[in-house]
Amino acid sequence: MKKKRILTMVLILCLSSAIPVLATVVTSIDEIKVYVNGNKMNFPDQKPMINNDNRTLVPVRFISENLGAEVRWNNQIRTVIISYEESIIRLPIGKNHASIGVREVVLDTKADIVNERTMVPLRFISECLGTEVQWNGDKKEIYISTKMPPANPFVGQPFKPSDLPTDDGYPIYASDRVGAKIMYAELGELPINVGGYIIYNVTVDKENINITQHVDEINLIPIGLYMVENNEITRCRNYQYVQKGGTFTYAYPIKSTLDETPTNINTVSHFALFTYENMEFRMLVLPNPAYEG
């Protein structure tokens, strides 16, 4: 009996040692969302992965399609080659090093092939391409801000509340002080830097006014927004979705935040974006692309 027990234990140990141990354990986290300049990215086949170094890997196709780089694959040396502007990044599969031009760098994780898809470390690649990357662990969201075109300066004129009055007759805070300025611009003149905010784009859908903007500091809230109807400022809008840092698209509800009444967005001629620069009022007025007159 004792010999049988010993033999059984030996067999178990032999079988256990025969089970292969994977060198890289990669886990798919379906909840991870990736945003580029505020737009949610879709991954039709291979999802972003968290590897055993606790680093995010993404399909290399994502880099070429969304971050503006050219990607090639050298099968002989199993290396991803990424070209961006004047930089060339070489990232060998399964290695903890890469090269940027002639400079060798040590990585805290490595590229891998998962489900026949080449997966690359998101933060390393993104930062090599000059983008800003932030991770929100609570929401499991990754925010990427790419290089955007340089902004045109805010060229304001002295603002008098009587020139663009509010519908309730009360001026917006500090808009009646000396130094308050206003600028009327067309959408084609964007991006424009107004009081530390860079406004890149304005679009309208059935529910929201969407404003793509960049803020200087990560804790700064999105720019304030009013509507303009019949040459009057009306209905202050609060943003619905807050992202910290970088360039993001914020959604401002079309429905009034004050009285919750529906708004006919087609009768709104302009959007008035306002902020304060060194405690002085700044307002950028842009046409509503959905205005029908």
Neighbours of 144 (CB within 10 A): 25
pLDDT for position 183: 98
Assess if residue 272 is contained within a domain.
Answer: yes
Do 108 and 167 lie in a common domain?
no
Say how many domains are in the chain: 2
Do 197 and 241 lie in a common domain?
yes
Assess if residue 138 is contained within a domain.
Answer: yes
Of 145, 175, 202, which residue constitutes the final position of a domain? Answer: 145
Q: What is the pLDDT along the chain (293 residues), one digit of tens a residue?
A: 544 444 444 434 333 333 333 334 444 445 788 888 777 888 888 889 889 999 999 998 888 888 889 999 999 999 999 998 888 999 999 999 999 999 999 999 999 999 888 999 998 998 888 888 888 778 788 888 887 888 999 999 999 999 899 988 899 999 999 999 999 999 999 999 999 899 999 999 888 898 988 876 654 688 999 999 999 998 777 776 656 556 778 888 887 555 566 678 999 999 999 999 889 999 999 999 999 97
pLDDT for position 286: 98
Do 190 and 125 lie in a common domain?
no
- CATH number, domain at 93? 3.30.457.10
pLDDT for position 228: 94
Assess if residue 8 is contained within a domain.
Answer: no
Give the alpha-carbon dihedral of 211, 216, 219, 223, to 10 degrees.
Answer: -30
Do 112 and 224 lie in a common domain?
no
pLDDT for position 132: 81
- CA dihedral for 165, 205, 150, 199, sign (positive or negative): positive
Q: What is the DSSP letter of 93?
A: B
Strand partners for 154: none
Reported in sequence order, the residue ranges of 38-180 that DSSP labels E, i.e. its strands, are 39-40, 49-51, 56-59, 70-74, 79-84, 87-92, 97-100, 103-106, 112-114, 117-121, 132-136, 141-145, 152-153, 157-158
Name the pTM for this structure. Answer: 0.67
For residues 192 and 152, the answer to whether their CB atoms sit within 8 Å is: yes
Do 138 and 188 lie in a common domain?
no
Assess if residue 207 is contained within a domain.
Answer: yes
Assess if residue 11 is contained within a domain.
Answer: no
* Phi, psi at 139, each rounded to 5°: -95, -5
Residues 215-224: contacts with CB under 8 Å, at least 24 apart: 215/245, 217/245, 218/134, 218/244, 218/245, 219/244, 220/196, 222/250, 223/194, 223/195, 223/197, 223/199, 223/273, 223/274, 223/275, 224/273, 224/274, 224/275
Identify the helix (H) or strand (E) that includes residue 11: helix 2-18
pLDDT for position 49: 85
Do 28 and 122 lie in a common domain?
yes
Assess if residue 262 is contained within a domain.
Answer: yes
Q: Show the domain range for 86.
A: 21-145
Q: How far is CA 270 from the centre of its chain?
A: 26
One-letter amino acid of 39: N
pLDDT for position 186: 97
Do 158 and 193 lie in a common domain?
yes
